[in-house]
Amino acid sequence: MNLDLLALNPIALNLGGLEIHWYGIIIALGALVGVIMAIREAKRRHLDPDNILDLVLYGVPIALVGARLYYVIFELPFYMANPSEIIKIWHGGIAIYGGLIAAFIVLLVLCKKRNISPWLMLDIAAPSVLLGQIVGRWGNFMNQEAFGAKTSLSFLQSLHLPHFIIEQMYINGAYRQPTFLYESIGNLIGLILILTLRNKKHLFKRGEIFLAYLIWYPTVRFFVEGMRTDSLYILPGVRVSQMLSLVLFVVAVILFIYRRKKKNEPWYNEL
């Protein structure tokens, strides 16, 4: 039996030649739930929810461009030789860190123009972004991408995974490490911790929820990235995402310690 034929179809619908991919549906669903969660938190923090909607309106398309540009830069020899492929995002090739950097810039500009604390906006947005990353990895699952090295059927069964996940991890004639799942679960644990703790009084100062995200996610990504087989490299043997994860982790820890020592920083739950 050809186990590759048992893989889930990445195309959800075909409407007169227009293919709707599960990847896009899953990403859109994660974004929608994340926006709803951010709007609810914005209301609780007495921030106009329209600011969240405007951030999404401007941030999402710019983040998509940033994610693609980031990928293209680190695969520049290929795209210099095939310039027509640069805009063909449907052929694959976006990087979450590029999207996050672009969205971060949009947020700073928006907050500057509307006189909103960027730390407060980042605190509200961070859990939603993490949720989007959790859900988005299942889009990678449907596309059979973002997987790890070859492994055995017995190893996957030892993880007590559902059969459909095991079947989907049979890629190019071999079973693969489900790194998409490791990252999704790791981020889910972080999201649960943040949502559980953020409403406790005098626990987080303003900006520290975002910094907690900036510590947690790079930590998860650093270890999972080391298991993947499709990494971008800045130098031979040096993975871009691992280096950036390390930099973000160090910067976040330093900022966390520095801001914690400042006496005039308000608590997140202070209205």
For residue range 215-270, what is the model confidence (pLDDT) as tens digits? 999 999 999 999 999 888 888 889 999 999 999 999 999 999 999 888 788 888 87
Q: Which helix (H) or strand (E) holds 14?
A: strand 11-15
Alpha-helical (H) ranges within 2-48 are 22-44
Annotated binding residues, written as ranges, equal 137
* Domain spans, the chain: 3-47+116-261
Strands (E), 108-252: 150-151, 170-171, 174-176, 233-235, 238-239
Q: What is the pTM of this model?
A: 0.89
Q: What is the mean pLDDT of residues 61-69?
A: 92
Spatial separation of the C-alpha atoms in residues 57 and 51, rounded to whole Å: 10
For residue range 96-131, what is the model confidence (pLDDT) as tens digits? 889 999 999 999 999 999 999 999 999 999 999 999
